[in-house]
Amino acid sequence: MNAKQIMKDGLFYQNPVLVQLLGMCSCMAVTTTLFNGLGMGLSVTAILICSNVVISLLRRLIPSKIRIAAYIVIIAGFVTMVDLLLQAFLPALSNSLGVFIPLIVVNCIILGRAEAFASKNGVAASALDGLFQGLGYTMVTVVMSVIRELLGNGTFGAGVFGDGIRLIPAGYPALLMILPFGGFLTLGCLIAFSQWALKKRQEKEGAK
Amino acid sequence: MNTLTSLLSISLGMILVENIIFSQCLGICPFMGVSKKMDTAIGMGLAVIFVMTVASAVTWLVNEYLLAGLQYMQTVAFILVIAALVQLIEMFLQKMVPALYSALGIYLPLITTNCAVLGVALNNVGSTFAEAVVRGLTGGVGFTVAIVLFAAVRGRLEFAECPRCFEGFPIALISAGLIALAFMGFQGLSVFG
Amino acid sequence: MTRQSNFRYYLRLTLTLFLITAIVAALLGAVNAVTAGRIESLRQERTQAAMREVLAAEDYVPAACDEPGVQAIHAAMRGGSLAGYVVEVAPAGFGGAISMVVGVDLAGTVTGVSIVSMAETSGLGDNAKKESFRSQFVGGSGQLAVTKDGGTIDALTGATVTSRAVTSGVNTAIAAAASAREAE
């Protein structure tokens, strides 16, 4: 497996959210401030790396009939560990992400990568795949939360830099962007952009 | 607030005001995935109602009687219960109600990874048994309402013209957002206090 | 497949799954043992800070209460005499229970409201933590309600559910303090 290819796939060509259309729930629900978006992205990345490594290690030991159940238990284990560690050492993040931390268990990205990649590839490749798929997801949550926070709340980086840097005076921002509607709209536009960019690239390669 | 009004207000909330899809952003994947056709949308909706109600009841019992003092095992136990339930329901339907099984068949396994089911189960912690069951049932109804409404819209989207890069998934997401906006109108609703 | 090998196959399935679950459970137990104390002390610290904020006193003595919806009630002692009650309530908000502390003085008037933890939508519901929203409750008594329901509390923009939940929590606390006062 080519490490560079895994990186490019995870971040762009096979981005879990924009191209594979996985893990949209958490992407929309928590991306209201940079702090949340970044925290969620990094938590998912950490869990994804761990679960990919363990599942890749165990891939010959788990009978295929019960593999999904086994994967879910392993993933749930890692999610709970992250949840407990966040509660103990980063209570602010754990408070603001709330129920969405345990819900990482059913984030389709993690089970999807376990099934599509880790169960077929070696440990090192699976770890890299977990890292870059996770970073691809983090990229999307960060971009979404920056856009939504700016348009919906008028600030940048709330939670990371105190109350955030106010870029639009209070009273002007469209609160709507923080509501679910804003999530659907922002994600729709981002996916449209990625479709456009990927098509451009295809045309360019076709022309060569 | 007495029990009946509290149950009614939970129902109203889960179906309209706090709709799982449109205001809690749970279960978006199956919502986007199987809403292309009306009949599959209805099938998925019914399957979710069924699983969510049973799962709410069972996870509540598990949490109350098996997990006392082991709260940190909640997520693991709940997801195992849901996965096992989905499998059991599948086997039961296959044997007993083959007609329903062939109608729901392919959607049942997908429900395991529907985050709405686990989300409702986790939200049920701390409420009474009746509240948990009602929240599961009406949460499923809310999901069905959302997916059926959206399937109707999506049927028309196929023939609508839009910028090329928005074709397919992006425009569907934005339309779903518009429905979410419409659902915000229910926020002022407070019939039962 | 013969009956014998069929049985062994299923046995293997069950054992593998059981083993994985057991290992996961053991690991979680270990992590929990490390973090539980810290989580609990963080929670207590927050609750203590919140109690001091809503009703300053030297000592908080837990009192008995069987009002529905009340997590705990403490009698706030100042200079050896009763100054009021601090009530912990957890009304259901938009994203699960909102854990909050309400101070009520002997006249049944709210002296302060503090949110210990909540999982409401950030940027909307979690504005309930802001002073401007919480201070509306101070001085209130009896049965409070948001303006939409004919009361005096201005609900947070876009977060009616959260506002109603906090209001109902305050009402529960006022009632609990009154019944504790009677029992005294």
DSSP secondary structure of A47-105 = HHHHHHHHHHHHTTTS-GGGHHHHHHHHHHHHHHHHHHHHHHH-HHHHHHHGGGTGGGG
Contact C90 B18 (CB under 8 A): no
Looking at residues B55-74, what average pLDDT do you find? 87
Show the tokens assigned to C23.
Answer: 């290992």
For C106-130, write each residue's pLDDT tens digit: 888 899 898 887 767 666 777 788 8
Of B76, B80, B188, Cβ closest to residue C148:
B188
Q: Which residues of B touch A188 (CB under 8 A)?
A: 166, 169-174, 177
Residue C61 has pLDDT above 90, yes or no: no
Is residue C170 one of the residues assigned to a domain? yes
- Cβ of residue B67 closer than 8 Å to a chain A Cβ: no
Contact B169 A191 (CB under 8 A): yes
ipTM here: 0.85
Is residue C42 one of the residues assigned to a domain? no
For A153-182, write each residue's pLDDT tens digit: 888 877 777 777 888 887 788 888 888 899
Residue C47 has pLDDT above 80, yes or no: yes
pLDDT of residue B106: 67
Of A73, A180, A183, Cβ closest to residue B80:
A73
Q: Tell me how far apart the alpha carbons of residues A84 and A98 are, in angstroms, rounded to a whole number.
A: 12
Which of A9-13, B106-110, B183-187 has the largest mean confidence? Answer: A9-13
**Choice between B50 and C3, residue whose per-residue pLDDT is larger:** B50
Contact A105 B118 (CB under 8 A): yes
- B residues 34-63 lying closer than 8 A (beta carbon) to A: none
Q: Which residues of C touch B76 (CB under 8 A)?
A: 21, 24-25, 28
User: CA of B167 to nearest chain A CA: how many angstroms apart?
Assistant: 8
Q: Which 3 state secondary structure label does DSSP give C113?
A: strand
Q: Which domain holds residue C79?
A: 51-183
User: CA of A146 to nearest chain C CA: how many angstroms apart?
Assistant: 13
Q: At C24, which amino acid appears?
A: V
Q: Quick check: A169 and A195 in contact, CB under 8 A?
A: no
Residues recorded for chain B: 193
How many helices (H) and strands (E) would you count in chain C?
3, 7
DSSP 8-state secondary structure symbol assigned to residue C120: P
Q: Which residues of C touch A97 (CB under 8 A)?
A: 119
* Domain map (residue ranges) of chain A: 3-207
pLDDT of residue B145: 95
Residue B105 has pLDDT above 70, yes or no: no
Contact C123 A99 (CB under 8 A): no
Domain count, chain C: 1
Q: At A71, which amino acid appears?
A: Y
- Cβ of residue A180 closer than 8 Å to a chain C Cβ: no
pTM summary value: 0.84
- Cβ of residue B159 closer than 8 Å to a chain A Cβ: no
